[in-house]
């Protein structure tokens, strides 16, 4: 599928899709240890998720979807999102299922890049975005990817891609080009996985909930 039948769609007619995990201590951001306790890691994750959701809420969209593992919490903005449960299975299967629930141009974001802004997403938000590309891809510095946009959200484009490896991004992008899709690239970003990542992203986005949370935890440790 090349999705070119959707090429005339304006940015505001796209679906914005966020895939996330409920920020429960001991179940999220475990690689922030030992610098962060499980409770602190959950606070960091909640701040990252809240920043991401508020950014998505501020963008033009035909529909906004949160594919969630777990239950909604106070970090979910009131209104604006259709919340759907993630199915069981590997990450590739859960990503594929999230796309399968959408139609027309769809942009997927994760919860690990709270520094995302409308400016960073400008290429895929442009009125001609889906005329210029059939897919949009945002690589992350750890070898994965933080964003994936598909003009025609075909789940088969994700199934079988090895996730959480240093070659995930290369394999996923090659899957798109091998399918004959024109791929537009978004800026490469840092995913928040480790404490060093958290400090770096907090410096990049000091105004964010994430940045304030990381600073508050650091200051608490200093005292």
Backbone angles phi, psi at 127, to 5 degrees: -60, -30
Q: How many CB atoms lie within 10 A of CB 26?
A: 12
pLDDT of residue 79: 86
Q: What is the mean pLDDT of the chain?
A: 93
- From CA 29, how far away is CA 38, in angstroms rounded? 8
CA 197 to chain centre: 16
Which stretch of 9-23, 134-148, 182-196 has the lowest confidence by average pLDDT? 9-23
- pLDDT category, 11, cuts 50, 70, 90? low
CB 21 within 8 A of CB 66: no
What is the rounded distance in angstroms from the CA atom of residue 218 to the CA atom of residue 12? 39
Q: What is the pLDDT of residues 159-210, one digit of tens each?
A: 999 999 999 999 999 999 999 999 999 999 999 999 999 999 999 999 999 9
**What whole-number distance in Å separates Cα of residue 166 and Cα of residue 175?**
16
d(CA 91, CA 191): 16
The upper half-sphere exposure of residue 58, i.e. CA atoms within 13 Å in the direction of its Cβ, equals 12
pLDDT tens string 197-208 = 999 999 999 999
- Domains delineated in the chain: 9-222 (3.90.550.10)
Q: Which of 8-22, 84-98, 145-159 has the lowest mean pLDDT?
A: 8-22
- Structure token pair of residue 120: 């960073």
Whole-structure pTM value: 0.92
DSSP string, the chain: ---GGGTT--GGGSEEEEEEE---TTTS-GGGTTTS-HHHHHHHHHHHHHHHHHHHHTS--SEEEEEEES---TTSPSSS-EEEEPPSS-HHHHHHHHHHT--SSEEEE-SS-TT--TTTTHHHHSTTHHHH-SEEEEEETTSSEEEEEESS--GGGTTTPPPSSTTHHHHHHHHHHHTT--EEEEEEE----SHHHHHHHHHH-TTSHHHHHHHHHHHHHH-
> Where does the pLDDT of residue 7 fall: very low under 50, low under 70, confident under 90, or very high at 90 and above?
very low
């Amino acid at each position: 599928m090349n999705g070119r039948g959707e090429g005339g769609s304006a940015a505001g007619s796209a679906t914005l899709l966020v895939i996330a995990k409920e920020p429960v201590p001991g179940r999220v951001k475990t690689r922030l240890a030992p610098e962060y306790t499980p409770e602190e890691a959950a606070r960091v994750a909640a701040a990252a998720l809240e920043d991401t959701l508020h950014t998505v809420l501020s963008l033009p969209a035909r529909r906004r979807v949160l594919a969630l593992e777990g239950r909604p919490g106070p970090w979910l903005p009131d209104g604006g999102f259709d919340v759907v449960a993630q199915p069981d299975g590997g990450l590739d299967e859960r990503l594929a299922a999230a796309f399968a629930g959408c139609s027309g141009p769809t942009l997927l974001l994760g919860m690990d890049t709270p520094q995302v802004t409308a400016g960073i997403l400008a290429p895929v938000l442009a009125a001609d975005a889906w005329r210029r590309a059939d897919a949009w891809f945002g690589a992350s510095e750890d070898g994965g990817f933080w964003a994936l946009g598909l003009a025609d959200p075909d789940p088969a484009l994700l199934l079988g891609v090895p996730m959480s490896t240093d070659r995930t991004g290369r394999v996923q992008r090659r899957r798109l080009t091998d399918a004959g899709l024109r791929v537009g690239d978004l800026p490469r970003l840092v995913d928040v996985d480790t404490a060093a990542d958290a400090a770096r992203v907090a410096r990049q986005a000091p105004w964010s909930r994430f940045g304030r949370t990381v600073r508050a935890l650091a200051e608490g440790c200093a005292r």
